Chains A and B, each alone.
Chain A
C-alpha cells in the first residue's frame, strides 16, 4: 500500500502542477511527503518523464515514472495515449490509451494494474465537452479485481482562466482499496459504486500557473450518509521558458481504476522542458522568435511565426497582414505559433511578449519604419 501511495502522489503532482503546458519531452524530479489513512507521513523521491509528439492529426503521448520511498519497494508506472483529430469533423477528436503500474511487495501491494480508456471530445473554440469510459484490472494477490468508469465533462476558457467540470461514476470490485481509504463506514462486499463530481480551475499569471481541484464523492462504502471530499492546489513558477519549479499539495481520493489509494501529500519538483529537435525549434532556441514561409500552390504563401516564451506569457504578432492590429498567438506543442496566409509581395511582421516592445523575428531582415518601430521583412513570391 505504501508504494501505491507514492504512485498516487506522483500522478497528483504531475497532473496538478503540469498546469496546461504540453511539452515534447518533459523531465520532472522532486520530493514529497505523503500520508495515507492510518499511517505516518513519510518522504518519497519522484522522477517522471513525459514524451509527446504531434504529427498531422495524431498526437502521441508516452510517460514513465518511478517513485522511491524510503520504506517501500520502488514503484513504476507507464502510460501510452493517442489523440486523433478527425479530418472530416474538425471539432471532434478521440482519445484513447493504456496505462500500467507495478506496485511494491508489501501487504496490499506487490502486484500490478492495467487500465485503458476511450474518450470522445467536442471542441468549439474556447470550450468543449467530452464523454468517455475506462476499464482497469488490479492484481495484488492473484485475483484480478475489475473496475469500470464512465465520465462526462465540460471545460471553458476565459482570458487566462480555464475551468473544468467532470462527473464520473466508477464501479469496482477492488474492496481492499476502498477499505484502506480514510473514511470507510464499512467494508463493502463484492462490487461497489462511487460517484465523483470534480471542479478544476486553472489561472495563468505572468510567470506563474495556478491550479485548484476539488472533488465531491458519494456512493456505497464511502461513508455513512456523508459525502467525502478532496481538494488539491498546485502552482508552477517559470524560472525560464523551459524550467519551472512546481509545488502541489492536498488530498486525492482513492481511484479504483488505477489502484491509487486515498492519500494526503505535499510535493515540490523541478520541471525541465526539452524542445523538439527540428531546425525550426533550434532556431527558436537560438533566436527567441522566428518566421518562415511555405509557398501555397494557389498563390502567396503561408507564414508561420514561432516564439519561444513561457506558456503563461501573452504573445502577439502584427504586421501588414493584420492591418497592424495585434493578433493573439496560440500555444502549440512547445512554443507560441501563428499561421497566416500572405499575398505575393513584400510584407512586414513583428512580435511582442507581455505587451513589451514589438520586435522583428530574429531570422528575418529587420527594417525600421517611419514611426520608430521595428519589423521583419518577408518577401512572398
Chain B
C-alpha cells in the first residue's frame, strides 16, 4: 500500500462524517430514500467544489411542501446538474453566490452559453446580482437573449449593481402596471444608459472577447 493510498483511505471517514453532518440538517421527517439521494448529491457536489447547502435546502423545501420522495430526489439531482453547469460556465473562479444565481438562471430557461458570455463581459466582478436580475427578467417573460444583451450592455457600460437592481424593480413595476415586458425593458434600460458614460466598445455579444 503506497503512502498515497493510505492518505486517500484516511480521508474516507472524514468525508463520510461530513456528509452525515450535512445530511443531519435535513428535515427530521425526510424519507430514507430522500436522505440517500441528498447524501449522494452532496458527495458529488463537494468533490467538485459546489455549494452543497443548496441541495439540502432544496430537499427541505420539497419536504415542507409535502412533495413525494421521488419528486424531491429528482429536484435535488436536477439542481446538482444545474449547479455543475453554472460552475463550468462561470469559470474560472465562480463564488458560491454566483453559482447559485447561475443555477437559478438556468432553471428559468437562460441558455448556458449566456452565462459564459456574461462572465466574459464582467470577469473581475461578482455576477450574482446581474444573474439575479437576468433571472427575474426572463421569468417575467422576456426572451433570454434579449434580456441578457441588455444586462450585459449595461454591465459593459459600467452600470452599478444598484442600477441593475433598480432596472429590474422598474420593469417589474411596469409589467405589473400593464406594460409589455419588452417595452418596459427598453424604456428602463434607456433610462439607465442615459446615466452612464458612452460605450467604449460593442458588447460581448456582438464582439466577444478572445481568451
Query: Cβ of B88 < 8 Å from any Cβ of A?
Result: no
**Contact string against A for B residues 120-136, beta-carbon threshold 8 Å, 1 for contact and 0 otherwise:** 00000000110011011
**How far does the alpha carbon of A320 sit from the alpha carbon of B54 in the complex, in Å?**
11
**How far does the alpha carbon of A381 sit from the alpha carbon of B60 in the complex, in Å?**
25
Contacting pair B135 A377 (CB below 8 A)? yes
Q: Which of A60-68, A173-181, A362-370 contacts B (4 or more CB under 8 A)?
A: A362-370
Contacting pair A346 B104 (CB below 8 A)? yes
Contacting pair B100 A379 (CB below 8 A)? no
Contacting pair B64 A363 (CB below 8 A)? no
Q: Which of B12-20, B161-169, B187-195 contacts A (4 or more CB under 8 A)?
A: B161-169
Contacting pair A373 B172 (CB below 8 A)? no
Contacting pair A379 B129 (CB below 8 A)? yes
Specify which chain A residues have a CB less than 8 angstroms from the CB of B204 in the assembled complex: none
Specify which chain B residues have a CB less than 8 angstroms from the CB of A363 in the assembled complex: 172-173, 176
Known contacts A365-B172, A381-B161; A370 and B139 CB within 8 A of each other: no
Known contacts A345-B128, A379-B132; A367 and B97 CB within 8 A of each other: no
Chain A nearest CB: distance from B74 CB in Å?
Answer: 7
Query: Cβ of A158 < 8 Å from any Cβ of B?
Result: no
| Chain A CB within 10 A, most for which of B57, B65, B133 | B65
Query: Cβ of B101 < 8 Å from any Cβ of A?
Result: yes
Name B166's closest neighbour in chain A (CB-CB): A381
Pair count A-B, CB < 8 A: 75
Specify which chain A residues have a CB less than 8 angstroms from the CB of B65 in the assembled complex: 324, 369, 371, 373
Specify which chain A residues have a CB less than 8 angstroms from the CB of B140 in the assembled complex: 365
Contacting pair B135 A369 (CB below 8 A)? no
Specify which chain A residues have a CB less than 8 angstroms from the CB of B132 in the assembled complex: 345-346, 379-380
| Chain B CB within 10 A, most for which of A283, A323, A345 | A345
Chain B nearest CB: distance from A57 CB in Å?
Answer: 29
Contacting pair B57 A320 (CB below 8 A)? yes
| Chain A CB within 10 A, most for which of B60, B132, B161, B168 | B132
Name B105's closest neighbour in chain A (CB-CB): A346
**How far does the alpha carbon of A381 sit from the alpha carbon of B161 in the complex, in Å?**
7
**How far does the alpha carbon of A318 sit from the alpha carbon of B60 in the complex, in Å?**
13
Query: Cβ of A344 < 8 Å from any Cβ of B?
Result: yes
**Contact string against B for A residues 345-377, beta-carbon threshold 8 Å, 1 for contact and 0 otherwise:** 110000000000000001111110111110001
**How far does the alpha carbon of A318 sit from the alpha carbon of B104 in the complex, in Å?**
19
**How far does the alpha carbon of A366 sit from the alpha carbon of B176 in the complex, in Å?**
11
B side interface size, CB within 8 A: 34
Contacting pair A345 B101 (CB below 8 A)? yes
**Contact string against A for B residues 158-190, beta-carbon threshold 8 Å, 1 for contact and 0 otherwise:** 000110010010001100100000000000000
Chain B nearest CB: distance from A120 CB in Å?
Answer: 42
Query: Cβ of B145 < 8 Å from any Cβ of A?
Result: no
- Residue in B64, B139, B162 whose beta carbon sits within 8 Å of that of A323 in the complex: B64
**How far does the alpha carbon of A364 sit from the alpha carbon of B139 in the complex, in Å?**
10
**How far does the alpha carbon of A320 sit from the alpha carbon of B62 in the complex, in Å?**
12
Query: Cβ of A274 < 8 Å from any Cβ of B?
Result: no
- Residue in B62, B104, B128 whose beta carbon sits within 8 Å of that of A344 in the complex: B128
**How far does the alpha carbon of A163 sit from the alpha carbon of B108 in the complex, in Å?**
49
| Chain A CB within 10 A, most for which of B57, B61, B75, B133 | B61
Query: Cβ of A287 < 8 Å from any Cβ of B?
Result: yes
Name A260-299 residues within 8 Å CB distance of B.
283, 287
| Chain B CB within 10 A, most for which of A287, A363, A379 | A379
Contacting pair B162 A381 (CB below 8 A)? yes
**How far does the alpha carbon of A363 sit from the alpha carbon of B176 in the complex, in Å?**
6
8 A-B Cβ contacts within 8 A?
A320-B61, A323-B64, A324-B65, A345-B100, A346-B136, A369-B61, A369-B65, A371-B65
15 A-B pairs besides A367-B139, A379-B133 with CB distance below 8 A are A287-B176, A323-B60, A323-B64, A324-B65, A344-B97, A345-B128, A346-B132, A363-B172, A365-B140, A370-B67, A370-B71, A377-B139, A379-B132, A379-B135, A379-B168
Give B residues with C-beta under 8 Å from A.
57-58, 60-62, 64-65, 67, 71-72, 74-75, 78, 97, 100-101, 104, 107-108, 128-129, 132-133, 135-136, 139-140, 161-162, 165, 168, 172-173, 176
Give A residues with C-beta under 8 Å from B.
283, 287, 318, 320, 323-325, 344-346, 362-367, 369-373, 377, 379-381
9 A-B pairs with least C-beta separation: A324-B64, A370-B75, A379-B132, A371-B67, A381-B165, A363-B176, A365-B139, A324-B61, A346-B132
